[in-house]
Structure 1
Amino acid sequence: MLDTVTRAPSQIRLLFPGLITATLVGVTAQFLSEHYGAPAMLMALLLGLALNFLSEDGSRTAPGIAFTARTVLRLGVALLGVRISVEMLGALGPGLIALTVAGVGATILCGLALARLTGRDWRFGLLTGGSVAICGASAAMAISAILPRHEKSERDLVFTVLAVTVLSTVAMVVYPMISNALGFTAIESGVFLGGTIHDVAQVVGAGFSVGQEAGETATLVKLIRVSMLAPVVLIASLAIRAKGLAASEGARPPLLPGFVLGFVALAALNSMGLIPAELAEGAALLSRWALLISIAAVGIKTSLGKMLEVGPVAIGLLVVETLFIGSFVLTGLHLLD
């Protein structure tokens, strides 16, 4: 305990440059939004992409940027729970919830099939399919932890994390345009964005760029997908053991991320009317700024140039998986209409 206290000032000094940088980008994005009508989160992402050099190894801002993109993001998403209630879940209906869950399963199967067709290892298909289907980089790291190790394990993981981040960034910009062009309602837009974009940060950015209701629905749908991480990892792990394959060594990440538990807990309290309106408004405001700042950090961390270092077949596989889940959800929305 004493050791933790004594180390706190040094940790603050380590993280402060990156945290304040992401905060300044977020404030700038909010200023541009208020004065020129551009979506604040989109501006934060684009400004962040232009500052990618600040996340390079050895940079004073790199540790704080990484902390902001991960921890501050999770705080922001967890606090969004105060805006979610059982009534909103009921508004989705069983059909849209089933569509979301089915999209996860179908995309994982698509990844395994594509890996076989392109001569890739089944582990690569499960890794990429799971990351696209569930929650991007977080799912990639969780699934990688239970896959049997091989000489290309680290390379495959790094590539998948980079690829899904870049594809999520592109989807964050393009998918709201598709949603508007198709004339989706706020709930339909939220289901489309939350059910197709890989990473939580980009789902939130895309959803709230469309509108408040679309953003909240997209976040809810996305967290349904994130919650699928636990059963998918568990089933995959059991299947690997049943085939007599050795699982990876080392500590595994938690099956259900803590920020999801926080989101669910706050949503439950809000549904029961246990959160005062003033406290809910304050938490919602803090959540909005946390998400804006963290999305700026996600943009700073994203390097488009590194995508050129991987093979075209691997890139194509992930692109096809991304198009598959997008088409699956669009088709489902059309059939349910």
Structure 2
Amino acid sequence: MTAWFSPERWKSRIQSHVPGVLVAIIIALASRFVSEHYGAPSMLLALLFGISLNFLADDPRCGAGIALSARSFLRIGVALLGLRISFEMVGLLGFPIVALVVLMVPATIGFGFVISHFFGFRARFAFLSAGAVAICGASAALAIAAILPRDKDSDDRLVFTVVGVTILSTIAMILYPIISHALGFNDVTAGIYLGATIHDVAQVVGAGFSISNEAGETATLVKLLRVAMLAPVVIIASVVVRRSSVKDETMGPRPPLIPGFVVAFIVLATLNSMVTLPTGALALAVEASGWLLLTAIAAVGLKTRPAEILKVGKPAAAMLVAETVFLAVMVTLALTLLPITPT
């Protein structure tokens, strides 16, 4: 017990992690700076900057800190996303819209599993890519990757998925407002359409407010409901993974039945729903979540080799596009054919 609390031991552990953590933080800062000044997605920039410096992951001074950033910062960042969620959202949107958003998540993931066989992929990439498309883009990809059993291609699949959904989100941010106008959607319906189809939160906000304040607020609310689906999806996936007995699908230790960061996500969402938290504290937590996830994705980039990403290939890109188109088409059909939107 005394050795565990040894100051020298903890000093040594901290010193071994600091260089790698600082590298990841610096990349995150640079990514946010470039994003704010030139408009490129910060997640994508963090990945690309990290990949360009991937040799640092092999440096014994940086390796431990980079691994910590990719693992622990990710989990804390996802947990803090819970403070964006509240039960009040359900009442504001109404049951038909909530049902649409909730049903689209398993539908898109199921579609991903079905088409994965045609593209030559197995369950891991199907779940990772479709989950990212269905829920909240890069953040969902990071959370899902954290509970999947790891193999030699895990990081490459994750990086490819994050890059893919970020690029598709940026394209959607430009195209989907035009499509919603062509379909004759009013501002509220356009907001529902954007929030239910675009992958990343930042692009949803950008697309929504490019139409109007009402569309932007609606789009953000719908998107946050999709973010709330992250917890049940990850819990169900954890149960399925633990029960799987197929050896080539269970490399490495099994994840816990309910990952700790998902429990924290649910607790924080419940707390935010039942208690009026200080506005400043909420803003700080949301900002901290963004920085932690950005630092985590920078660390993932640092651990990635470009040549390995390219091996994922064109079929993976086509699969991501197919999942994105499926989600957009299904939401469009629901909004145009069913009496579920406010007039």
| Fold match (TM-score > 0.5) | yes
CA contact (8 A) 1:128 1:160 kept: yes
Gaps of 5+ in 2: 132-139, 181-186, 210-215
| Distance in 2 between residues matched to 1:298 and 1:314, nearest whole Å | 19
One-letter identity of the residue aligned with 1:9: K
Q: Secondary structure of the residue that 1:252 maps to in structure 2?
A: coil
What RMSD, in angstroms, separates the aligned Cα atoms of the two structures?
Answer: 3.9
| Distance in 2 between residues matched to 1:115 and 1:217, nearest whole Å | 28
CA contact (8 A) 1:55 1:62 kept: no
Equivalent residue for 1:229, pick from 234, 239, 252: 234
The count of aligned residue pairs is 310
One-letter identity of the residue aligned with 2:326: F
CA shift digits 1:123-163 (9 cap, x unpaired): x4432322223343543564558xxxxxxxx4665654343
**1:76 maps to what in 2?**
77
CA drift of 1:215 comes to: 5.4
**1:171 maps to what in 2?**
168
CA drift of 1:227 comes to: 1.8
1:252 is aligned to 2:250: no
CA drift of 1:256 comes to: 3.6
- Relative distance call for 1:254 and 1:10 in structure 2 (3 A) is same
Q: Secondary structure of the residue that 1:171 maps to in structure 2?
A: helix
- Relative distance call for 1:94 and 1:317 in structure 2 (3 A) is same
CA contact (8 A) 1:108 1:126 kept: no
- Relative distance call for 1:270 and 1:17 in structure 2 (3 A) is same
One-letter identity of the residue aligned with 1:74: R
One-letter identity of the residue aligned with 1:218: K
One-letter identity of the residue aligned with 1:81: G
CA drift of 1:49 comes to: 0.8
CA drift of 1:58 comes to: 0.7
**2:115 maps to what in 1?**
114
Equivalent residue for 1:136, pick from 141, 146, 157: 141
CA contact (8 A) 2:238 2:257 kept: yes
CA contact (8 A) 1:83 1:216 kept: no
| Distance in 1 between residues matched to 2:73 and 2:148, nearest whole Å | 23
One-letter identity of the residue aligned with 1:114: I
CA drift of 1:167 comes to: 1.7
Note the 1:1-337 alignment, pairs <5 A. Answer: 1-6=1-6, 7-32=9-34, 36=37, 38=39, 42-43=41-42, 45-46=44-45, 48-56=47-55, 57-59=57-59, 60-117=61-118, 120=120, 124-134=121-131, 135-136=140-141, 138-139=143-144, 142=147, 144=149, 154=151, 157=154, 160-183=157-180, 185-186=190-191, 188-193=193-198, 197=199, 203-207=200-204, 213=217, 214=219, 217-232=222-237, 234=239, 248=250, 251-298=253-300, 300=302, 305-310=307-312, 312-313=314-315, 316-335=318-337, 336-337=340-341
CA contact (8 A) 1:205 1:295 kept: no
125-134 vs 177-186, greater mean Cα deviation: 177-186
CA drift of 1:254 comes to: 2.8
One-letter identity of the residue aligned with 2:195: G
TM-score, structure 1 as length reference: 0.71
CA shift digits 1:82-135 (9 cap, x unpaired): 3432222333433343334433333344344334446x5xxx443232222334
| Distance in 2 between residues matched to 1:301 and 1:163, nearest whole Å | 13
